[in-house]
A and B are shown apart, each in its own frame.
Chain A
């Protein structure tokens, strides 16, 4: 089926819906999403959204900008970080006006809490910057934005999965191809402008806080169409996932006063970050946990440590962290009011992704040349405000600030430009992919390959990496790629074929993994979340630059682009 819209947004999480809200009523816009919008993973975000409102103590956008740059180990593009920190304030107020139910101060203003790496006066001590709604901030963002989109009468195509992106030979974006999951039918969406807002790819790892649907679809599709990916080696592990399950226990636990303890009961962060302690940035805390475990100070010599909330007043736990309390009770049968909680780092957030400028335009090279009509925002994009390590609460604000900017730029673009003709047989690639998977009579099971992929990524591209490990990983990925061509699925039906969906998603995960492995192997230094045991120091002389990796006919090709530095010269990162 053929559809024509001025603007098509792929993804109905925070980034996609924020953009949709800018376009609705102003032009003809459609949102397509493989999940019902309210099922998007933005809804799982817990702790907060950063903005220097200064409602409970002095704060300034420039302090927020500084923390973002330092937290990102100076790989952040500072022009983008300045936009983020300045516009965060206005974006939060806009959310409030749309009905966001923030927790309030006694005088009725938006309340704020502490979060890792957010400081007053350029690092002096923690500051209350995270606006929140209990520990369901992401749920409330998703609800508020979906409600706003309904109010503005956005057209939704729910449970439609994008399979391909349409670019002309001279590099203009003309639309997307998507499959209606319920019927298996392919739909061609002809558009003047397309926004990719498809979220992250945590499912490349075995232990992750990410949803089963977080499979990097948009990132992989862009990569397949020749668009380079930026900084893919920077993948964040959040320190506090529920042991073995990976379910996140928000940093808000520590923001409210929670403490990490090793098997001996010691508050080990005193040794690693004497000023910010448990609220040091995530890359440092995750490494510290593993260092404790390696030194035999995990609990009972095993690979986990404790999160201790038992000293907090029970009413703080019940009222400010109700969902987390519920997770711990449901999945562990423990009571955070009196029990220690077993935690381990969990794969959480992709700092890298599809490169964009501050208006969300996807750029194709080191000179930031934009692709006409193609935009990206949210976790699938890399503007780069998170650099080598994202601070807590900075993703949700990234979604609303850059989702909004992308939406606004798209509006101007669709007003000034006409439809480009579609390529001939626009859906041939998507059709071939679906038919191939349905008909292939191999011997490999999708789930087996996926489990091996996740295991290998966890071992060799996790918190600690080495050159040898990454080479071994690349070999494994090559093997998995070959075996992927020999899959067989049981389900040959067209109706709601989730096995087909999972097989397609595995292909996307493989693409993401290959980009991560090659980028990580090339970067011979340690910075933020990318820690090379064979190159343990940061090396600004050689590596203060963004990685770009592209799939070409000759294989994967790496290039680099400079980091934008405006206000803050790179310094050593101590907390």
Chain B
């Protein structure tokens, strides 16, 4: 089938502001949006620029706005979109070029929540024990691929300085891991004014997550944990 992609373009070397260009391509209905983008890049216009790697939704490279929603281009099929597709970079980040945005502030938010296991007790010779039930408490938040679909969909993030949902998801992953011992420090960070309380429970993030993580739910669990520890 034939589809038209309207793509936001910007090259800082030549353009003063972003503009749109249209491309028409012949694709299979079951092709991914990424296939269409690759087709354009490979055979029509080599200057079209975007990130990609795994091509099946596990590396988090190709988050972008597709018909207004944050999605991974490799996880959306053409047949689910119809013949006219608009593609734009994620909102809230500096555009480096075309669909490529500067992810550094996003990773800085991630680093701010100390996203690693902290436990200074000498480990046993073998594994630390953890029951399947304890393991299940943080299973959902281990799935995060740091694609930024959620954070870039959050209206609070567009206007205010705050950690954003992805960082909180990753804090949750350690807060609810029975092996971790740094809950107090992490909760203190999340309790600051740019922390969890900025969230207005709008659920954009949950809807955007390509990994199906219950993002808002994780944020709520973190909020409750802060309140619980304070009382």
Contacts and interface: CB of A to CB of B under 8 A. Distances in A.
Interface of A: 35-36, 38-41, 43-44, 92-93, 96-99, 101-110, 133-134, 136, 139-140, 143, 147-148, 150-151, 182, 211-213, 245, 247, 323, 326-327, 330-331, 333, 445-448, 489-491, 493-499
Give 9 nearest A-B pairs by CB, closest first: A99-B117, A447-B42, A490-B46, A108-B129, A147-B116, A151-B116, A499-B46, A491-B47, A96-B127
Contacts, number: 157
B2 interface: no
Given A44-B59, A447-B43, A493 B13 contact: yes
A38 B56 contact: no
Given A38-B60, A96-B127, A147-B117, A498 B111 contact: no
Interface of B: 11-14, 30, 32, 41-43, 45-47, 49-61, 75, 77, 96-98, 100, 103, 107, 111, 114-118, 123, 125-132, 134-135, 138-139, 142-143, 145-146, 174, 177, 179-180, 212
A193 B174 CA distance: 34
Contacts of A497: 49
Contacts of A38: 59-60, 145-146
Nearest to B97: A496
A93 B58 CA distance: 25
Contacts of A445: 42-43, 46
B78 to A, nearest CB: 12
A38 to B, nearest CB: 5
Contacts of B96: 182, 495-496
Contacts of B212: 326
Given A103-B135, A133-B142, A445-B42, A499 B54 contact: no
Given A97-B128, A247-B56, A499-B41, A136 B47 contact: no
A330 B42 CA distance: 25
Contacts of A447: 41-43
B53 A101 contact: no
Nearest to B131: A108
B144 to A, nearest CB: 8
Contact of A150 (B58, B116, B177): B116
Nearest to B146: A38
A262 B143 CA distance: 34
Contact of A212 (B30, B53, B118): B53
Contacts of A499: 41, 46-47
Nearest to A213: B53
Given A43-B145, A109-B129, A182-B96, 13 more contacts: A35-B59, A36-B103, A38-B145, A41-B53, A43-B58, A44-B56, A102-B135, A104-B135, A136-B58, A147-B117, A150-B111, A247-B56, A326-B57
A495 B94 CA distance: 14
A323 B212 CA distance: 10
A85 B1 CA distance: 52
B128 A96 contact: yes
Contacts of B61: 35-36, 39
A139 B129 contact: no
Contacts of A330: 57, 75, 77
A74 B43 CA distance: 45
Contacts of B125: 93
Contacts of A103: 132, 135
Contacts of A326: 57, 212
A323 B56 CA distance: 10
A44 B57 CA distance: 9
